[in-house]
Amino acid sequence: MSNVATFLIENQEALDLYTTAITRAHGAHHPEVFEVQSIYKVIQEKIRKGENIKEDFVKLREITNEFFIPDDVCQTFEKTYKLFAQADKLTQEN
């Protein structure tokens, strides 16, 4: 199993919770979070199947403007993007 897959599995509970929370709290002003959540679900499925997820992280970087954290968001939003940024770094190491 790759480092990124291990990292995402270890952080799955938090990311499941966070991606849902930020869609509810910030979806109206940051509609991209719905796509972030959708891509995250695809990534989870690909990890279960042992498939490559690098392209999914390319999409996440594009959608999030390189995991940019807007000024008007909560700590959960910030934690979510920071976790994805850490995972993204791992995808680039493999």
pLDDT at res. 94: 57
CB 32 within 8 A of CB 64: yes
How many helices (H) and strands (E) the chain has is answered by 5, 0
pLDDT, one tens digit per residue, over 17-67 is 999 999 999 999 999 999 999 999 999 999 999 999 999 999 999 999 999
Please state the pTM of the whole predicted model: 0.94
pLDDT at res. 31: 96
In DSSP notation, 18-62 reads HHHHHHHHHTTT-THHHHHHHHHHHHHHHHHHT---HHHHHHHHH
pLDDT, one tens digit per residue, over 5-17 is 999 999 999 999 9
Cα 91 to its chain centre, rounded Å, is 12
pLDDT at res. 2: 86
- Per the structure, the complete domain to which residue 19 belongs is given by 3-93
CB 64 within 8 A of CB 81: yes
Domain count of the fold of the chain: 1
